[in-house]
Structure 1
Amino acid sequence: MTDSQLSGPEPDPAGDAGHAGHPPRVGFFTDTSVCIGCKACEVACKEWNALSEDGFTLTGMSYDNTAGLGASTWRHVAFIEQSAPPVPAPEGRRELPLVQDASQSAGGEFRWLMSSDVCKHCTHAACLDVCPTGSLFRTEFGTVVVQEDICNGCGYCVPACPYGVIEQRPSDGRAFKCTLCYDRLGAGQEPACAKACPTESIQFGPLDELRERAALRVDQLHAAGVPEARLYGHDPTDGVGGDGAFFLLLDEPEVYGLPPDPVVTTRDLPAMWKHAAAAALSLAGGVALSFALPALARGKAQVRR
């Protein structure tokens, strides 16, 4: 495996995976600025993929009862509460108070940042690189899918993911994550979560088209007085070669629980193997020398006799 297959820009991941004449790469663009937190995407994902429930108990952190992505939650809608300065009401309208925190001064207000998170279907997917059984594979659509029937539960993919997306199911140890509804794509349908989203916060389509649409949306928000709007995971030159599922955020990535500068964890494997090989050769040479020197000394002693 070459360095270029593990990191850097990669214009055709499906082609490099061996898919000839494949369709355009597809993915998700999630516009968090229009997410209303309805969780329709979570429900649709669970229903279509027959995923088990993973708790009905509220976490105590807003209205979030799933807490994060996992083996049984492939879409997760985060509710992030932030204190925010009061926004004056338009002229002629009455200003209505928002929820106030007792720890804040009078007039302190909140805003909710809502975001539907999902597997990023990275261009350079470390989970796929480390899988020893071929359970993880790259599809003709450029997405990354787990074949649960040949997963041996080794768990190598879990720490390999820079986003902490993939997880093993406690009941049998096998790994699970979003498949971007691979079965629906094969039938010419869009993923269940995008189909169910009432505000089009989750948009599905060819990745190049989504990137163009996202750039226009950011410009629109900046012109509307939302300078903090930014894209995350769209750049093909970033540490994972760009994501197949990227986001428009209204704050820093860390606020949403996302790493600010994700890097594919297998990027340095070639260099690591080279160093390991050099160390092994040095060790072997040292061992050989430790046997050779005494033998050489004995040979000289016999010659003197």
Structure 2
Amino acid sequence: MGTPLGDFVRVKRDSIQPESLGLPVHGRRRSPGLRRSDLAARAGISVEYLTRIEQGRDRNPSVAVVNALADALSLDPAERKHLRYLTKITGGECAAHPRPAPPPRDVRPSVLETLRLLEPGIALLTNRLGDILAHTSGYASVMGDSGLLDAEAPNLTRYVFTHPRARSFFADWDDVADEQAFDLWLGPSAASTEWFTAELAPLAGPEFTRRLNGHVLPRRGVLRLSHPAGHELRLRRETLELSSDAQHLVVLLPADDRTAQAVDQLRHQPHGRLRAIS
């Protein structure tokens, strides 16, 4: 059985063309990318050891080996950080939580007060699973007709992969899907991620599992929405990490004048007040 660490190393190895590293191409290949022997040589480890890592039979590589693999794969800083995180959860953090459970949904009063100060702006509080824990009325005015907030406990990840309106609402659905799948690797804990993916995978199908196991680092550019009211919205995202709560405060800002005017029109429609979702 594979591991997140082994899957990531294998995916990155398959994505590298030998000629890009100045290595010779040895005729026709059955599988794409870099040979296991070439990667092992570049990292200074044995092919047998690399095979054990990729197949999940070695779950505790040393820091030196992890750094050597990062160098051999020519990982950028974000990919290196992700590799270190996968090494951590593969090495035993998952085993420390034998009974996966959903994360708490509590929101501190001071965080809710911060959201109130952001009114009538477009802001929400979420965790890495995509649970929407609280949001401003401005967020409801933009997202209210999408169907996302209709659920008793709205979850952006579940919405993206299972709601019939999601693909038309998000103009760049593929990018948003990559973001939501990637963020599952980052918490709020290994146990809650295991619980959530086990619940979502049967509903979302291969589109979800392929992205989850593909480890594609998302671009996180301007968020483009095809609003049911006929507006095309372009929103910039600013994120404040509340590390002690494993939560994120996200503020969406109009990226152009046309979006600002459309958002102003949507705000004049009745959408309620600040909402905290327990």
Computing the radius of gyration over CA atoms, which structure comes out larger, 1 or 2? 1
TM superposition score normalised by structure 2: 0.22
The answer to which structure, 1 or 2, has the higher relative contact order (CA under 8 A, 6+ apart) is 1
Structure with the largest fraction of helix: 2
TM superposition score normalised by structure 1: 0.21
